Structure 1
């Protein structure tokens, strides 16, 4: 490993500065001169920044540079947001997709409503934290400018819960914590089963006592309910939906609202809409204020929660919901023919099979919501090659200071 001085030319897709030689240097910005230690696979370790970028700013979190959650807190917001928007533009242009790009919509600090906290025993003490940068080790979290403050305030008693999860020596618990409108919902993963098949009765009792003392809504162990004082609920439009255990929820209510607003704007004037990969109804219920909605998802628990909330949501157009694996059994062109518009919001793998059916259908408007610009570009190519026009793409920065970017796209015939 040797040392050298170089200049950062740009920031790459993983948030690292890149030198003219193609070396990746974490925690650096364009035009900075740096002294680095060169390692394997074009990775370099920053030793010193010799000339600071005028765009460099003081990170708001004391864990930054050690914690692996954020990569870009040291960059001023305006150039950081422009870089993230340019990532979407670059991916789509590389795929040959031409369109109008809207301004990026960014979630503010302290609005993330779900986090995954890793638990570890250190000298007899249980610590909760996030994984370190490029490491399986973890950093103990005492603050987080991204997360809702209520989640950070909960860490002391979440640590108490975690402390009873190490009955099996190979357990590596992760607490998936969601802040719902009716309290905390905690789903525990990574706990190895002992000879009795799970946690001991004593551990379960301790968890229930801690949960009751701190008014937690629900605790599940790989979706098995350990404790429940009430159902965790969230509001989607006019509906209050009870979340099933371990269900998907957008990380930020602000970004969810931004996406919902774009989707509702796109379906204005439509009478019959399909919501594919609907989850528990984040788009279904707001769209039902405008049009009849057919909601489909492969997650049976989410669809059941959506159905249960329909009767409690006033003043909506009709909603039908179905559990269906859209990867193996997408809606075919004949089924799609009755819809004025189709919204699809798939997981990171995208919706290739469904996109191929949409391409052959008579649907005149499609709205794509994506958490992965690469798989979206593939699906968008399928649509545009069949006669759809990609009218507009709006980047969404739901995961502040990370390298992750999402988007909402509108297609028309």
Structure 2
């Protein structure tokens, strides 16, 4: 039975929410919609009264593809909504902070994407999964990906023909690098001699910089270098990398400003040196990261660079073994860039160590707000928050923030 509902607000996943609550994908506050209720989700949606913030979607794949959730909304609306998501997360913890204007990465700027590829009777099907679905949608005109990534999708298809299973889906991560296309494959057939030889030949044929198969490097024609500040680094296969270079630079500007004047910085959850290496232009840095291969890549990059201050590295699980106050007190400032779970254990030790400046990068406003509450309760001031939207048209929100401690407290 068709029902009519009015959208009250957007949820954290970008869905419209009506009284109930009832979740209505790809709608906007104030819209009157009709459809068939399936549990708490409205299906077969028809927008009866559209919002003045509704726009014509730019991408022809939007209806079927699950890569974007908010292309139907005006850019200004999305920007305001993402800032409000952060503001509401802070308010839930009883916090507030000055919010800087959001920085949004442009279209066609994603430098990394994981393509789903399935072998079919006629060949292959490659693209992104549909919304909450195993269905794969082809994306030849994707508005997110850098054009070089879109042109590389046939490489993912070719690899699926060589080593994909008809029963499963191959996950092919394509990353742009200065050496060319860096490709990491998961979910393929087990390696044997003939497959390894075929994959090595494919690396040459397609001019790939590097090809890895379930974390094993098959071939590397040229190092897939990523530059962090003045330093070239060859990350291990599949290592974390900010989604866009534009977004990375926006976060780096915020972190550089937040730590300005510090002589010794500890970078926690440092990855391959996204922030550590640029910060080493003006400060000594101790970089701590859970994956030893990442710290090794960072160290190798630093040793080949010129004119940087000392960068030391440490492989350490900061969830199980956070740095303790006596270890932290040798630094003027701390940088954190944890995964979505946040850094609750490490933040508790930072609060006790009472460092004067903490720069925090987060990809989850909720866990950021939780961690911010720990610091504020310990006497820190949340000076400002900079929202960075490098996952354009998605519900994903990132930010950088600066905490300071009054030395007289």
Shorter-normalised TM-score: what interval? over 0.9
1:280 aligns with 2:272: yes
1:358 aligns with 2:356: no
1:71 aligns with 2:69: yes
Q: Could you tell me how far 1:263 is from its partner in structure 2?
A: 0.5
1:54 aligned residue: 52
1:84-122 per-position Cα deviation (integer Å, ceiling 9, x unaligned): 110010011111112111111111111111111111122
Q: Could you tell me how far 1:338 is from its partner in structure 2?
A: 1.0
2-structure distance, mates of 1:83, 1:133 = 21
| Alignment match of 1:147 (pick from 133, 145, 148) | 145
2:31 aligned residue: 32
Calculate the TM-score normalised by the size of structure 2: 0.96
1:230-250 per-position Cα deviation (integer Å, ceiling 9, x unaligned): 221111001011111121111
Bigger mean CA offset, 341-350 vs 307-316: 307-316
1:68-97 per-position Cα deviation (integer Å, ceiling 9, x unaligned): 110000111001110111001001111111
| Alignment match of 1:331 (pick from 323, 331, 337) | 323
3-state SS of 2:95 partner: coil
Q: What is the 5 A alignment of 1:6-405?
A: 6-40=5-39, 42-166=40-164, 170-192=167-189, 198-405=190-397
Q: Could you tell me how far 1:312 is from its partner in structure 2?
A: 2.1
Residues 65 and 71 in structure 1, CA contact (< 8 A), matched pair in contact too = no
3-state SS of 1:104 partner: strand
Structure 2 stretches of 5 or more lacking a match? none
1-structure distance, mates of 2:7, 2:268 = 43
Q: Could you tell me how far 1:356 is from its partner in structure 2?
A: 0.8
Aligned alpha-carbon RMSD (Å) = 1.4
Calculate the TM-score normalised by the size of structure 1: 0.95
Q: Could you tell me how far 1:362 is from its partner in structure 2?
A: 2.9
1-structure distance, mates of 2:140, 2:199 = 22
Bigger mean CA offset, 207-216 vs 91-100: 207-216
Residues 27 and 65 in structure 1, CA contact (< 8 A), matched pair in contact too = no
Q: Could you tell me how far 1:170 is from its partner in structure 2?
A: 4.2
1-structure distance, mates of 2:155, 2:169 = 18
Residues 26 and 46 in structure 1, CA contact (< 8 A), matched pair in contact too = no
3-state SS of 1:282 partner: coil
1-structure distance, mates of 2:215, 2:62 = 32
Change (3 A) 1:171 1:4: closer
Q: Could you tell me how far 1:394 is from its partner in structure 2?
A: 1.1
Structure 1 stretches of 5 or more lacking a match? 193-197
Q: Could you tell me how far 1:345 is from its partner in structure 2?
A: 0.6
Q: Could you tell me how far 1:51 is from its partner in structure 2?
A: 2.2
